[in-house]
Amino acid sequence: MPVISIGNLVKTFGAIRALDGLDLHVEQGEVHGFLGPNGSGKSTTIRILLGLLRRDSGDAQVLGADPWRDAVRLHRRLAYVPGDVSLWPNLTGGEAIDLLGQLRGGLDRRRRDELLHRFDLDPTRRCRTYSKGNRQKVAIVAAFSSPVELYVLDEPTSGLDPLMEAVFQDEVRRVKQAGATVLLSSHVLAEVEALCDRVSIIREGRTVESGTLTELRHLTRTAVTVETARPVTGLDALPGVHDVHEVDGRTHLEVEPAHLDELLGQLIRFGVRALTSTPPTLEQLFLRHYGDDPAATATGAAAVPASPGPATVGASDVDAQADAPRGGAR
């Protein structure tokens, strides 16, 4: 049973369509990365999942219940870390953690003290005197002190130093081990790569991609540089090969992973002397999804935006690929 199941979700604020038919499925026990550029609707989705905002249309289920109608019952079973933590300025950090935990239905005191120690947080200071990172720690400690089924984390590590980032990752792994599900919205790609079983990428209120990182990689082209004995010809005619150009006797091109085999078959006839193949980096993967002109994607026009990196070229062809069965390359 999916822990979070969202279908065709729509939310408007006046004339602005913040969510425009969003889909999101998070399975029991997984750490699910929730990615997208600023303003793409991640926090709006999370607020709907928490019953803070009311959806205009579409389906939303959290732990098998309606997040708006059953908000209070659901909130006993989940913990939330907001992206921009505000706290009661005149309470101490320790008091705020205890209060949030108690309002949620109780917390594990031993874990709380252990987390305070691990995150190196002074609980006797007033919340108004905390830095952004320390306020973030208060919310993280309050959330992870509660043994719940679902953790909803909205950019939880913005403002944490690398040491604390590592502690945070340990905690996510620990709750996962215990069987909990985590929805993690983040811009820290290393964190996503280290933690997430699956990711969903959204843009302008719509899901554009969803799957494991390996699956997503297959949707993005590999950059190939090849040096041959004789000048290469006939590459343009091959399916899935793009952006062929020659510099100093070397041929540079991009190929969709599904067509790598055919490309190699063609190259080998010209006497390969050297060949490098670079799979897309995570950054390229996201830049492609974040930076594209969505109109081009939608209409299938071959628009080539002037963004850096080979992964941004010819988006429309690759998106057509997204409909094909996954994992066809191997």
Residues that bind other proteins (CB under 8 A): 43, 47, 50-54, 71-73, 75-76, 80, 82, 84-92, 94-95, 98-100, 102-105, 123-126, 128-129, 139
Closest-CA residue to 251 (of 269, 237, 231): 231
CA 204 and chain centroid, separation: 14
Taking the complex as a whole, the smallest distance from the CB of residue 1 to other proteins amounts, in Å, to: 22
For other proteins, the closer CB: 13 or 277: 13
Closest-CA residue to 56 (of 17, 108, 5): 17
Taking the complex as a whole, the smallest distance from the CB of residue 223 to other proteins amounts, in Å, to: 41
Taking the complex as a whole, the smallest distance from the CB of residue 238 to other proteins amounts, in Å, to: 50
CA distance 309 to 30: 31
Taking the complex as a whole, the smallest distance from the CB of residue 88 to other proteins amounts, in Å, to: 6
Taking the complex as a whole, the smallest distance from the CB of residue 327 to other proteins amounts, in Å, to: 38
- In eight-state DSSP terms, residue 95 is H
For other proteins, the closer CB: 73 or 269: 73
For other proteins, the closer CB: 128 or 273: 128
Question: CB count, 10 Å around CB of 108?
Answer: 14
The torsion region of residue 168 among left (phi > 0), alpha (psi -120 to 50) and beta comes to alpha
For other proteins, the closer CB: 15 or 247: 15
For other proteins, the closer CB: 43 or 186: 43
Angle 264-269-275 from CA coordinates, rounded to 5°: 45
Question: Residues 222-242, buried b or exposed e (16+ Cβ, 10 A)?
Answer: bbbebbbeeebeebeebebbb
CA 32 and chain centroid, separation: 7
For other proteins, the closer CB: 50 or 223: 50
For other proteins, the closer CB: 4 or 100: 100
Taking the complex as a whole, the smallest distance from the CB of residue 49 to other proteins amounts, in Å, to: 10
Integer CA distances (angstroms), 144 to 13, 136, 160, in order: 32, 12, 16
**Which helix (H) or strand (E) segment is 226 a member of?**
strand 222-228
Taking the complex as a whole, the smallest distance from the CB of residue 18 to other proteins amounts, in Å, to: 11
